[in-house]
Amino acid sequence: MSTRSIVPFGPQHPVLPEPIHLDLVLEDETVIEAIPSIGFVHRGLEKLVEKKDFNEYVYVAERICGICSFIHGMGYCSAVETVMGIEVPRRADYLRTIWAEMSRIHSHLLWLGLLADSFGFESLFMQSWKLREKILDMFELTTGGRVIFSVNMIGGVKRDIDADTLKLFLGIFDDMKKELNALTNAFLNDYSVNSRLKGIGILTKDKAHELSAVGPMMRSSGIEFDTRKLGYAAYNDIDFEIITSLNGDSYARTEVRIKEMFQSIEIIRQAASKIPDTELSVKVKGFPQGEHFMRVEQPRGEAVYYIKANGTAFLERMRVRTPTFANLPAMLEVLKGCQFADVPTLILTIDPCISCTER
Amino acid sequence: MIIQNITTIPHENLLETVLKIKHEGYRLVQICATTIDAEYEITYSFALGYDFLSYRIMIAEDTEIMSISPVFSPAFLYENEMKDLFGIKVNLISLDYNGKFYNLDKKTPYKKTI
């Protein structure tokens, strides 16, 4: 006769980079249901629009999360620029695209390391994060910061990447591709890794749509949608295919993120070859009035930045719908029916960013 | 400025509108509450492919609204968030945390004193 029990998972767990609590209802070793509890890192950042004016708020937006920092800043600035009718110089659009794609690579490498750590492959975790250091060094070279680098401003960007530095980066990416190939070969072809990923946590295409999954979580179930195709920043000038997989399991989610890293390198190459020589920013006059939903593609998926402005220096509302928040229902769905030992890996396959979720 | 597709509807028509949207194949993107003077403005956003539209309801502070989680199951997250942060009364949420979604020290911190 099977036994039902409730096992608490988190908020502290060796595999979790950030706190989230799940009450796992188990029947023997099989998860029947998972009930989430969040709120451990809720900082009330959206309420800070009452205290920080729309220019200062860029610094708050960037600090929603450390991994997704740059794209948070870019999404917020783009939303305000749209409301104010500001046309950002084209070079700034290209620079934003380059830094955004570098953010995507470093985020996926961070995730790969955490995934390896979740099934005890410590050396693969170390190699992933060692490779990630190259991206962080490139951020530091161009912006002065490694994690939160504050280059976005309303009207453009604060810093430039000159032609010599771009050429240096392309050389680094060429070398990196060889190391990435060796690293990702382990994730995709190693027998022990595959046994922890293949056929585990399947999310069907219909379920992914019903549960409003976004990003690689959704694309690995076969849905072809990428917010970059809306053409914000310089993406309307860049050719790229949307990467999908059909299996919807943990392996498919890993495969999609790995392919996205290689694709990001090609996007950066394209952007570097097309970047025009213009100013970096325009002067901002007046205050925003109106509202706008800005959608961008974070490494974890579609993020929505909603701002409502009333013609004063302080916004009436700023709301961020982050991709992890959208992927929580999908995570709860893939946990149903899984083995207890697979729970840490499955939670990681949505690439959770709890700081983003709770704001 | 880009024109956003936002339609204001009476809150009594919310479920009917949402059911039609679901039938057309849209997914839920987000639900956002804002305090405007003496009312709450709640915007429900949906997407089908790259199409994006929003429906908005305006409600008074004490108005109770129905949850859309029976139609769009992910809505329970956004509705619990609205309840915790703004104190908006949402009925029949599929998974209702009864004010304990965010474990806040201060109740309804985003609710402006009207």
Please tell me the predicted confidence (pLDDT) of residue A357.
86
State yes or no: pLDDT of B114 exceeds 80. no
Cβ burial, residue A29 (10 Å; 0-12/13-18/19+): exposed
The pLDDT of B72-92, averaged and rounded, is 92
Please tell me the predicted confidence (pLDDT) of residue A179.
92
State yes or no: pLDDT of B2 exceeds 60. no
Residue B27 forms contact with A (CB below 8 Å): yes
Q: Is residue B113 very low, low, confident or very high in pLDDT (cuts 50, 70, 90)?
A: low
Asked if omega into A11 is within 30° of 0 (cis), the reply is yes
Give the torsion sign (CA, A217, A179, A174, A160).
Answer: positive
Q: Cβ separation of B109 and A83 shorter than 8 Å? A: no
* CATH architecture type of domain B6-91: 2-Layer Sandwich (3.30)
- In B, minimum Cα distance to A231 occurs at B50
Please tell me the predicted confidence (pLDDT) of residue A119.
86
Phi–psi pair at A50, nearest 5 degrees: -75, -25
Residues of chain A with pLDDT under 70: 1
Q: Which of B34, B45, B54 sits opposite A317 (nearest CB)?
A: B34
Decide which of 1.10.645.10, 1.10.620.20, 1.25.40.10, 3.40.710.10 is the CATH code for A47-358.
1.10.645.10
Residue B107 forms contact with A (CB below 8 Å): no
Please tell me the predicted confidence (pLDDT) of residue A44.
87
Phi–psi pair at A47, nearest 5 degrees: -75, -20
Residue B88 forms contact with A (CB below 8 Å): no
Distance between CA A332 and CA A36 in Å, rounded?
Answer: 8
Residues 6+ apart with CB under 8 A from A167: none
Strand partners, B17: none
Give domain limits for chain B. 6-91
Determine which helix (DSSP H) or strand (DSSP E) holds A325, and give its type and residue range. helix A323-335
Q: How many CB pairs under 8 A join A and B?
A: 76
The pLDDT of B30-53, averaged and rounded, is 92
Which residue, among A296, A284, A231, A230, has the nearest Cα to A80 in the 3D structure? A284
Please tell me the predicted confidence (pLDDT) of residue B3.
59
User: What CA–CA distances, in Å, run from A175 to A128, A231, A265?
Assistant: 15, 29, 11
Q: How many other CB atoms are there within 10 angstroms of residue B95's CB atom?
A: 16
Give domain limits for chain A. 47-358
In 3-state terms, what secondary structure has residue A358? helix
Strand partners, B34: B41
- The ipTM of this complex is 0.92
Q: Cβ separation of A212 and B32 shorter than 8 Å? A: no
From chain B, pick out residues whose CB is under 8 angstroms from the CB of A329.
73-74, 77
Q: Which of A38, A211, A229 sits opposite B102 (nearest CB)?
A: A38
Residue A37 forms contact with B (CB below 8 Å): yes
Q: Cβ separation of B29 and A304 shorter than 8 Å? A: yes
This prediction has a pTM of 0.92
Q: Cβ separation of A225 and B50 shorter than 8 Å? A: yes
